[in-house]
Amino acid sequence: MTKTSAISSETETASEADSGAITICYRPDADMTDEEDRQLRRLLFGCFPHEPAFLARRFLKACPAHRWLAFDAAQEIVAHAAVHEKTIGTGFGDLKIGGVAEVCVASKYRGKGLAKQLLDAIHGWLRERGFQFAMLFGQPKIYESSGYVPIGNELRAENSMARHWNPFCGKAMIHRLSETAWPEGAIDLRGPTF
């Protein structure tokens, strides 16, 4: 496995899967190896087969700076989540958020809490760096257990699908990381959705 960044935290997690322990680690996108890129694109396309972009690259709209990877005992990537550092505009001023994207778990490992473990690691990392919220687009029934709640704000983004995004009929959702209250009114993502 590639050496992780100095700000990473590797944790061993017991897994009920046949292959044993799972290792979750942080990886800056710039440090991804060719083999990790290949494995991640395969995982992403397997989880999001309606998105052919994953056949050629490891992101959908914009390349995230940060990734959390779950490796099985054979060093295969079995789960993943990415984070975009964003400063969004609101009627009450700017908010620093972590835009969580491309959360996926290989089918063999679903239902074992890997997505929640990835998100817990991400939330801790974001809190340590002063982010006020984590935000993602997804299904509430999947992300509520990790503390996400749907928001009803109008979203402004570079891509015209911001208000109707997500082929899974997902919702814009936030996870509070600070004492800051989520603002009412329009939210400007200042870029594409993630």
Task: Classify residue 96: in a domain, yes or no.
Answer: yes
Task: Classify residue 194: in a domain, yes or no.
Answer: no
CATH of the domain at 22: 3.40.630.30
Tell me which residue range forms the domain holding 177.
11-188
The span from the CA of 182 to the CA of 95, in Å, is: 9
pLDDT at 83: 98
Contacts of 77 (CB under 8 A, 6+ apart): 36, 39, 40, 43, 69, 70, 71
Task: Classify residue 4: in a domain, yes or no.
Answer: no
Tens of pLDDT, residue by residue, the chain (194 residues):
333 333 334 444 433 444 469 999 999 999 999 999 999 999 999 999 999 999 999 999 899 999 999 999 999 999 999 999 999 999 999 999 999 999 999 999 999 999 999 999 999 999 999 999 999 999 999 999 999 999 999 998 886 554 444 444 579 999 999 999 999 999 999 988 88
| Cα 16–Cα 74–Cα 70 angle in degrees, nearest 5 | 65
Q: What is the pTM of this model?
A: 0.86
Task: Classify residue 3: in a domain, yes or no.
Answer: no
pLDDT at 23: 97
Number of domain units in the chain: 1
Task: Classify residue 159: in a domain, yes or no.
Answer: yes
Task: Classify residue 81: in a domain, yes or no.
Answer: yes
Task: Classify residue 2: in a domain, yes or no.
Answer: no
The span from the CA of 99 to the CA of 135, in Å, is: 5
Please name the residue ranges forming H helices in the chain.
Answer: 34-47, 114-128, 140-143
Smallest CA-to-CA distance from 176 within 113, 131, 125, 110 is with 131
